[in-house]
Amino acid sequence: MIGYIVLGLAFVGLLFGLPLIAQTGLSEAEMDSAVISHALDFNAPLDGDLVDLPYHLLQKFSIATLGLTPYAIKLPSVIIGLLLGLLLILLLNRWFKNNVSLLASCLVVLSTPFLFLAGSGTPLIMLVFWPTLLLWLGSKIYGEARPQPKYSFFFAIAMLLSIFTPYMIYFAIFCVVFVAMQPHLRFIVKNLPKPMLILAALIILGGAALLITNVVNQPGTIMEILFARDFDGHGVFSNIWSGLAPVFSWRGQVGGVFLAPLMSLPLFALTLIGLFSTTKGFFASRNSIASLLIIFTLIISGFNPKAIIFFILPITILAAHGLKYLLEKWYGLFPENPYARISALLPLTILFSVMIVPSLLQYLYGYRYNPQIANEFYYDLSIIRDNLTDEVLVVDEHYDFYKILEESSDLTVLPSDSQYLAGSVAILRGETEALENYSLNRIITSPMRENSDIIYLYTVKGEQHGSDDGPNEAD
């Protein structure tokens, strides 16, 4: 209990401080997600905006409450990451002893890929959240002599909501096939209360009917749910290779927003031990599910390389298997010697320090100072909010994103082809030639990108705006 309390407090504190201590910039995907969330209205389900709808609704509420800030954009992932960490602990606690589940939970929730997911303001985290929730609900049905019917109902609801997340329809099919292949699971399902099974089936069929109706009205929805938006059908193996690159590379960054290696070498070795330990009883549902999830990860990575982040779930399960195997072998050597059990604390402490501390440092410093991956994030929003008040902001790229600023500030946001009004004009990463009747007053820079000149602030000739000193300014 003490261990879980310490882990919980550390995890909650770390999560809610993530946007402040790690990457404070925004990626292209985060800005696109904010635009989609902001555009939602009450008719979203009828208009076809069903893809990742729960996440976007939460993000819309966060932006409406806190304004367009990096923290508001990332907060939904922080909240869902907190729930995901809790679900991983509960899931491992269903399948393993307390010591194994606690140690494995520490390894995963403090790992670089998990912290990145929880600190990234995109729906990518839902790709891991829904399967973890479904597996935990399934364990509440599978692991009980007399399972409570309510868990069948919750399982059906979760599966209904999950199919509107890209690629989760494949996971729903995976669950059905897995139950059909497992004799024990088939037996449990047959003996569940018939009214609850009928109700669960009706819920799933109702969701399928809603999906079909939506696809008829918005044919593009099915493509977003089944494939990536830019999937062309010709680069499946190329996508899988691109997805696996950060898993096996040690160069720090191999394209995209994932730091390499995706998991540390000690954790990778532990998962291999776990994979080896499951071969003996492979056809037991708990043992085979991790291996099947790896295959599932490779399949969906063929549609979108970013889906490789789903590896978090099978890695969690295999790491727990590896810990269980190591502890059992150690204690098996000295079954009656209490001193041997106590002496195991020292190598275990060293082992976990080697796995957890470097992973934390990689996340905290890699995303901030790695020159390749740091340039995948834009810090323009924070600089605009810190330096501009009531100017006219002229933007060339991401106009829809910065337009949201008008609702929570006195800025006027215009596209680059607009006629500028009298007063102060701030040009964001646009043309820097002198404007007629305007003089260049300030250049606001950023220390975080290769092209450090972020904002060119012009004023009407003869006027002055602000001062010419400060850490982010240049003449």
**Residue 297 domain-assigned?**
no
Q: What is the pLDDT of residue 455?
A: 81
Share of the chain above pLDDT 90, in %: 2
Collect all residues with Cβ–Cβ distance below 8 Å to 422 and sequence separation of at least 6.
Answer: 460
Q: Please identify, among 320, 343, 374, the residue that sits at the C-terminal boundary of a domain.
A: 374
Q: What is the pLDDT of residue 252?
A: 52
CA distance 208 to 216: 12
Which tops the pLDDT comparison, 109 or 17?
109
- The one-letter amino acid code at 36 reads I
Q: What is the pLDDT of residues 379-416, one digit of tens each?
A: 888 888 888 877 778 887 888 888 888 887 777 888 87
- The one-letter amino acid code at 177 reads V
Does residue 404 contact residue 34 with C-beta atoms inside 8 Å? yes
Share of the chain above pLDDT 70, in %: 80
Q: What is the pLDDT of residues 312-329, one digit of tens each?
A: 888 888 888 888 888 888
Answer yes or no: do 119 and 177 share one domain: yes
Phi and psi based region of residue 385 (left: phi greater than 0; alpha: psi -120 to 50; beta: remaining): alpha
Q: Please identify, among 323, 349, 374, the residue that sits at the C-terminal boundary of a domain.
A: 374
Does residue 166 contact residue 127 with C-beta atoms inside 8 Å? yes
CA distance 185 to 444: 62
Q: What is the pLDDT of residue 472?
A: 46
CB atoms within 10 A of CB 247: 17
CB atoms within 10 A of CB 216: 11
The tokens describing 86, both together, are: 């809790």
**Residue 264 domain-assigned?**
no
**Residue 227 domain-assigned?**
yes
Answer yes or no: do 339 and 227 share one domain: yes
Answer yes or no: do 160 and 226 share one domain: yes
Q: What is the residue-averaged pLDDT of the chain?
A: 77
Buried (b) or exposed (e) across 69-108, using 16+ Cβ within 10 A? bbbbbbbbbbbbbbebbbbbbbbbbbbbeeebbbbbbbbb
Q: Kindly tell me if the per-residue pLDDT of 352 is higher than 70.
A: yes
Which tops the pLDDT comparison, 130 or 427?
130
First to last CA, the chain: 59
Answer yes or no: do 369 and 393 share one domain: no
H-helix or E-strand spanning residue 457:
strand 453-460
Answer yes or no: do 36 and 150 share one domain: yes
Q: Please identify, among 346, 374, 402, the residue that sits at the C-terminal boundary of a domain.
A: 374
Q: What is the pLDDT of residue 305?
A: 79
Answer yes or no: do 436 and 365 share one domain: no
Lowest mean pLDDT among 2-11, 36-45, 294-303: 2-11
CA distance 382 to 231: 33
Does residue 26 contact residue 70 with C-beta atoms inside 8 Å? yes
User: Tokens 């003449």 belong to which residue?
Assistant: 475
Q: Taking the CA atoms of the chain, what radius of gyration do you get in angstroms?
A: 25
pLDDT band, very low/low/confident/very high, at 129 (cuts 50, 70, 90): very high
Per the DSSP assignment, residues forming a β-bridge with 378 are: 26
H-helix or E-strand spanning residue 459:
strand 453-460
Mean pLDDT comparison of 135-149, 217-231, 399-413, highest-scoring range = 399-413
Collect all residues with Cβ–Cβ distance below 8 Å to 207 and sequence separation of at least 6.
Answer: 159, 160, 161, 163
H-helix or E-strand spanning residue 127:
helix 126-142
pLDDT band, very low/low/confident/very high, at 251 (cuts 50, 70, 90): low
Cis peptide before 131 (omega within 30 of 0): no
pLDDT band, very low/low/confident/very high, at 121 (cuts 50, 70, 90): confident
pLDDT band, very low/low/confident/very high, at 466 (cuts 50, 70, 90): very low
Answer yes or no: do 362 and 458 share one domain: no
**Residue 438 domain-assigned?**
yes
Q: Kindly tell me if the per-residue pLDDT of 11 is higher than 70.
A: yes
Answer yes or no: do 71 and 10 share one domain: yes
**Residue 326 domain-assigned?**
no
**Residue 261 domain-assigned?**
no
CA distance 179 to 437: 73
Answer yes or no: do 339 and 387 share one domain: no
Answer yes or no: do 130 and 33 share one domain: yes
What's the total number of domains in the chain? 2
**Residue 11 domain-assigned?**
yes
Answer yes or no: do 344 and 411 share one domain: no
Answer yes or no: do 9 and 102 share one domain: yes
**Residue 368 domain-assigned?**
yes
Range of the domain at 90: 2-233+335-374
Q: Kindly tell me if the per-residue pLDDT of 144 is higher than 80.
A: no
Does residue 442 contact residue 468 with C-beta atoms inside 8 Å? yes
Q: What is the pLDDT of residue 468?
A: 43
List strands edge to edge, sheet with 453-460: 412-415, 392-395, 425-428, 453-460, 438-445, 473-474
CA distance 100 to 341: 15
